[in-house]
Chains A and B, each alone.
Chain A
Amino acid sequence: MLDPSAARSGDTEFARLDRRSFLKSGLGGTLFLATVSTTAGLSGCATAPAGQLDAVDTQMKTSYQFRFLTRDDIELFEALLPAMFGPALPEQPQARRLAVAGTIERIDAGIENFGPANQQELRRLFDLLTFGFTRVTIARVWSRWPNVSTTDANAFLERWRTSGIGLFNNGYIALTKISNVAFYGGHDQWHLSGYPGPPQWAVDALPQFKTA
């Protein structure tokens, strides 16, 4: 997964820069992320959409075809979602896995409609977080995502939320926003927000709900 030589060459390149001031400017941030995604791509990280995953590769055994998220991205969300929704997820392990998997599928389905420009931004963000060198230096997450504890995932989210660097706040918002919408907007989670769904009397009366 990680090509050490790519990471090392990246290291010397980035070491010359004053990282903090560099990241402060939006343009610097964009250039930086662009460099990261190129480096990550060259280093052979999983940049292809994960497609249909089978039970061997993942906890998720479904028929869903991933069209944007890579296997690395999926691992990232498998680590982050328990920090975002832990106490709201079902306790029973299989139900819990299904809730996480379903949310990640809806994240992927949502991103499909974002259009090329925003997809590219997200690709940069996900590459930054899944590429070993930047995961450590920028996100300050020491292990690969499958080995990151919920406490550490929460600490990472908290660092980016409270950071004085707009780019990190922006990354925090992007990660939580797509996850939150995918999670709470899903029928299976409506009860968590006390949302009863569309009024039943209207559903009963409207032609679009009649299955003829």
Chain B
Amino acid sequence: MSLTDRIARGLEAGWKVTDATTLTDHQTHEADVIVIGTGAGGGTTAEILAKNGLSVILVEEGRLYYQKDFTMDEHSAYASLYQEGMSRTTQDGAIAILQGRCVGGSTTVNWTSSFRTPDQTLTYWADNFGLDNLSPEAMAPWFEGREQRHTVAPWQTPPNVNNDILRQGCEQLGYSWQTIPRNVKGCWNLGYCGVGCPTNAKQGALMTTIPGALDHQARLFHGLRAERLVMDQDRIDHLQASAMGADGITPSGVTVTLKARHFVVAASAIGSPGLLLRSDIPDPHARVGKRSFIHPVNATIAQMPEKVDPFYGAPQSIYSDEFNFKNGVDGPAGFKLEVPPLHPGMSAGVIPGHGPEQIDAMAGLPWTQSVIALMRDGFHPESPGGTVTLRDDGSPVLDYPITDYLWHGLKQAYLTMAEIQFAAGASKVRLVHLDSNWYTSWGEARAAINSIAMEPHRVRLFTAHQMGGCSMGQDPQTSVVNGFGEHHQVSNLSVHDASVFPTSIGANPQLSIYALAARNSARLAAKLTS
């Protein structure tokens, strides 16, 4: 690999990186801090602690993949970079869960949209969870700092047709729309963010904070799964971890024991509550795993008269917040409108069907446009979120019931998305729903949506935004960590990832995670070095 690649160069220069699949002996290592998970939260934490002179060990169950592995190929990427080989779903199978499992976590495969936490959300947290010092004013410098670190800026290049159709439809209907800020540097506008950036343009954890931490003597073990945090009296004494075998999925039998003064869990929503549950960490009010949110996503697809080529170009560059907070923070479910990239494998997996109809739909891919709606969950009593529990084998699983409140929002979203696509000139529109036909006019679509079954399994739902499960708050009776990510009961344990959010964000979450992790890590570094 060319030595312009940040990872190849670092490995050459002697970074302390261990591929745990190659380990043959049980072993023990020690550091000031163990960071579990290398995604948005873990990478940020490791870099800040290491730069403050603390010794850090990063633990990642996925593998280290970088430019040499990013070949714009769906099959290899889904198999290697995603949780459960892209087959993760909610417990009943009704919601597909997209989540990363590799160094850099979900930031290695995400679509680079970078939003600050909406002011309405921060204010709601202050009012409802006692998180006063997370006000928009207090957080602004942290967002700014992370925007610089990850090179976040509104996308300057014209949107691809897929995104532009969302803009055109909104414009026709008088709905607001805006350009998405992205975390990229020298982006080639290719469209392959979801399978690992082939050009190193994406400024996710893999290209920024992980190298930053490794340059400052942090050690990285990849292919190593955190199994159990083991307590000694009221503190965590060590982490027990399993090396993965050659397949990267099943443990080899080699265990690694990691001792430290402090432990930061950053295995994300689902992973972090899973680890705490497996470890029997004190949880007097049974809060771990509760209030898990996912921005439930539904979608419509349109056939356009012009070519869309939805597989090319920055995947997300236009959004509409017209309906996000329109009815108040805790009114009927609001949603953010965006566009997904459509590559053939992913599209065929997402658009339900088989036989000639499916074959025709796939043949129309170059003319296909899609809009997605991200439901803002967690702000209303009838949106209490889901629950993470452990399966028999100790792996975490999310149960997420869809309430009537959410079905109502999802139906409104179908209506809005179809209306926008017709307004932008679609020749026909269908819902990503088991019972949907193609509709050739807005009137026909509206009538169909008003009578179609809003039921699990029939409505195809997705999430790429898992949040909550170790929620933060002032009150230990209703939360797991405080507003600094510090565990209420265990003094040398922090949680720095998407699992701490007490509701969903109401925007794509990566920048919220980067900023909060940076703020909390700065405080942790000060504590540990004083």
Q: Which residues of B (380-398) have their CB < 8 Å from a CB of A?
A: 391, 393, 395, 397
Q: Which residues of B (65-104) have their CB < 8 Å from a CB of A?
A: 67-72, 74-75, 78-80, 84-89, 91-94
Total A residues in contact with B, Cβ cutoff 8 Å: 54
CA A154 to CA B366, docked complex, whole Å? 27
B351 nearest CB neighbor, chain A only: A180
Binds A, one of B148-156, B342-350, B490-498: B342-350
Is there a chain A Cβ closer than 8 Å to B247's Cβ? yes
Q: Find chain A residues with CB under 8 A from B408 CB.
A: none
Q: Are A166 and B71 in contact (CB under 8 A)?
A: no
A192 nearest CB neighbor, chain B only: B362
Measured CB to CB, the residues of A under 8 A from B are 26, 83-88, 106, 109-118, 121, 154, 157, 161-162, 166, 169-170, 172-174, 176-186, 189-190, 192-195, 198-199, 202-203, 206-209
Is there a chain A Cβ closer than 8 Å to B379's Cβ? no
Q: Are B78 and A112 in contact (CB under 8 A)?
A: no
Q: Are A180 and B348 in contact (CB under 8 A)?
A: yes
Q: Are B87 and A184 in contact (CB under 8 A)?
A: no
Q: Are B190 and A109 in contact (CB under 8 A)?
A: no
Is there a chain A Cβ closer than 8 Å to B353's Cβ? yes
Interface residues on B, range: 35 or more
Is there a chain A Cβ closer than 8 Å to B1's Cβ? yes
Q: Find chain A residues with CB under 8 A from B92 CB.
A: 26, 166, 170
A82 nearest CB neighbor, chain B only: B355
Q: Find chain B residues with CB under 8 A from A203 CB.
A: 72
Q: Are A157 and B354 in contact (CB under 8 A)?
A: yes
Q: Find chain B residues with CB under 8 A from A206 CB.
A: 198-199
What is the CB-to-nearest-CB distance from B462 to chain A, in angstroms, rounded to a whole number?
A: 12
Measured CB to CB, the residues of B under 8 A from A are 1-2, 5, 67-72, 74-75, 78-80, 84-89, 91-94, 188, 190, 192, 198-199, 247, 249-250, 311-312, 343-349, 352-356, 358-359, 362-366, 391, 393, 395, 397, 434-435, 455-458, 460
Q: Are A86 and B249 in contact (CB under 8 A)?
A: no
What is the CB-to-nearest-CB distance from B499 to chain A, in angstroms, rounded to a whole number?
A: 20
Q: Can you sample 21 A-B contacts with CB below 8 Å?
A: A83-B354, A84-B355, A106-B75, A110-B87, A112-B85, A112-B249, A113-B84, A116-B250, A166-B456, A169-B434, A172-B434, A173-B93, A173-B352, A173-B460, A181-B74, A181-B346, A184-B362, A193-B365, A195-B311, A199-B190, A202-B199
Q: Are B94 and A166 in contact (CB under 8 A)?
A: yes
B195 nearest CB neighbor, chain A only: A198
Q: Are A113 and B75 in contact (CB under 8 A)?
A: no
B3 nearest CB neighbor, chain A only: A207
Given contacts A116-B393, A166-B94, A207-B2, contact A198 B434 (CB under 8 A): no
Q: Are B71 and A183 in contact (CB under 8 A)?
A: no
Q: Find chain A residues with CB under 8 A from B68 CB.
A: 207-208
CA A170 to CA B94, docked complex, whole Å? 7
What is the interface of chain A mostly: helix, strand, loop, or mixed?
helix
CA A79 to CA B72, docked complex, whole Å? 31
B79 CB contact (under 8 Å) in A109, A161, A170, A194: A109
Q: Are A208 and B1 in contact (CB under 8 A)?
A: yes
CA A162 to CA B358, docked complex, whole Å? 15
B71 CB contact (under 8 Å) in A86, A174, A209: A209
What is the CB-to-nearest-CB distance from A119 to chain B, in angstroms, rounded to a whole number?
A: 9
Which of the listed residues A113, A114, A116, A154 has the most CB atoms from chain B within 10 Å of its own CB? A113
A170 CB contact (under 8 Å) in B247, B312, B346, B457: B457
CA A170 to CA B71, docked complex, whole Å? 32
Q: Are A118 and B87 in contact (CB under 8 A)?
A: yes
Q: Find chain A residues with CB under 8 A from B349 CB.
A: 177, 180-181
Q: Find chain B residues with CB under 8 A from A193 CB.
A: 344, 347-348, 362-363, 365-366
Q: Find chain A residues with CB under 8 A from B78 CB.
A: 110, 113, 181, 185
Q: Are B363 and A207 in contact (CB under 8 A)?
A: no
Q: Find chain A residues with CB under 8 A from B347 CB.
A: 184, 193
Q: Find chain B residues with CB under 8 A from A202 CB.
A: 72, 188, 190, 198-199
Given contacts A88-B359, A192-B363, A207-B1, contact A185 B87 (CB under 8 A): no
Q: Are B359 and A173 in contact (CB under 8 A)?
A: no
B67 CB contact (under 8 Å) in A112, A169, A176, A208: A208
Q: Find chain B residues with CB under 8 A from A184 CB.
A: 344-345, 347-348, 362
Q: Find chain A residues with CB under 8 A from B458 CB.
A: 169
B392 nearest CB neighbor, chain A only: A117
Q: Are B75 and A185 in contact (CB under 8 A)?
A: yes
What is the CB-to-nearest-CB distance from B207 to chain A, in angstroms, rounded to a whole number?
A: 15
What is the CB-to-nearest-CB distance from A23 to chain B, in angstroms, rounded to a whole number?
A: 13
CA A209 to CA B182, docked complex, whole Å? 26
Please name the 5 residue pairs, one residue from A and one from B, whose CB atoms are nearest each other, closest first: A185-B345, A113-B85, A180-B348, A169-B457, A184-B348
Q: Find chain A residues with CB under 8 A from B250 CB.
A: 116
